[in-house]
Amino acid sequence: MKLIVGIGGVTNGGKTTLTDSLLKALPNCCVIHQDDFFKPQDQIAVGEDGFKQWDVLESLDMEAMLATVRAWLCGPQKFARAHGVSVRPDAADTHILILDGFLLYSYRPMVDLYSRRYFLTIPYEECKWRRSTRSYTVPDPPGLFDGHVWPMYQKYRRQMEADGVEVVYLDGTKPREQLCQQVLDDIRNSLLNQAQAAAPTPAPPARPQGPGRGGGHRAARPAAAQPDAV
C-alpha cells in the first residue's frame, strides 16, 4: 500500500518541522523536499519590482521533482534503501512518501498524486516575524517579504482554491506536538480506509432459511484487511 502525503502551505508555516516529526513516527516513510529543486540562482528571473522571483513555480525544477516521485512510485522499497530508510518488517506492505514544500499544489501534473494534501497557514504578522529569523542560502533582501513573498503566497493560494484543489488546512500557530498528532491520526485513518477499500468484497448476507432446509449458518464475514501497525 502506497500513500503520498503533501505537507504544503505558507513559508515558515512549520512544514519541515512537521515533516520531520512525521518521518520519525511513520514506518517506511521517505521524504522529498521541494526546496531541493530550486533552479540555480542565475536562472531565477528578476521581476519588474527588482526582486529575484524565488517564490514562483518557474523557479523550481518541477519536472525533476516529479521524476523523483515517480522513482519512489516504481520502487518504494529500493527508494527507501537508497535514502537510508530501513524497511520495518512489521509494516513491509506500507510505504509512505511525504512531499514538503510551499508550492506543492500549484503544479498540475502532481496534484492528483496525493492521497492527502495538508496546508499549513499562519497569519501575516507571524509569518513575517518567523521569516525574519531565518536565513536561506540566499538571504532575503530588504522588502522581499512584503514585495514578493507574501503577494505570491496569496496569489498561488487563491488560484489553488479557485481550481478546487481539496486540502486539509492546518493552523500553524498550534503547538508542534498537537499538529503532529492531528496529522498522524488522519494518516492512520487514511491507511485504514485504503486497506478496507482494497479488501475483497464480502459475500452478501445469508437469506434466512426455514427449518428442515439444511439451514446452516453462513461463515462469518472475514474481517477487512488491516494495514500493518503504524
- The residues, ordered by sequence, that sit 6+ positions from 124 with a Cβ below 8 Å of its Cβ are 150
Closest C-alpha to 144, from 70, 47, 209 = 47
Contact status, residue 194 vs residue 144, Cβ threshold 8 Å: no
- Residue 98, classed as helix, strand or coil, is strand
Closest C-alpha to 226, from 203, 204, 194 = 194
Contact status, residue 72 vs residue 3, Cβ threshold 8 Å: no
- The residues, ordered by sequence, that sit 6+ positions from 187 with a Cβ below 8 Å of its Cβ are 3, 5, 22, 26, 96, 116, 230
Is residue 117 near ligand ATP by the rule CB under 6 A?
no
- Residue appearing with cell numbers 505558507: 10
- Taking the complex as a whole, the smallest distance from the CB of residue 136 to ligand NNR amounts, in Å, to 4
Is residue 13 near ligand ATP by the rule CB under 6 A?
yes
Rounded Cα–Cα distance for residues 130 and 189 (Å)? 32
Residue closest to ligand NNR when measured from CB atoms:
54
Site residues (CB under 6 A) for ligand ATP, limited to 94-113: 102
Is residue 102 near ligand NNR by the rule CB under 6 A?
yes
Is residue 11 near ligand NNR by the rule CB under 6 A?
yes
Is residue 133 near ligand NNR by the rule CB under 6 A?
no
- Taking the complex as a whole, the smallest distance from the CB of residue 121 to ligand NNR amounts, in Å, to 15
35 is catalytic: yes
Binding residues with ligand ATP: total (CB under 6 A): 14
Query: Contact region for ligand ATP (CB under 6 A) — 7-15, 22-30, 162-170, 194-202?
Result: 7-15
Q: Exactly one of 35, 36, 146, 163 is catalytic; which is it?
A: 35
Q: Which does 117 bind (CB under 5 to 8 A by kind): ligand NNR, ligand ATP, none?
A: none
Query: Which residues contact ligand ATP (rule: CB under 6 A)?
Result: 11-17, 102, 130, 172, 174-176, 179
Catalytic center residues: 35
Query: Which residues contact ligand NNR (rule: CB under 6 A)?
Result: 11, 35, 38, 54-55, 102, 136-138, 149
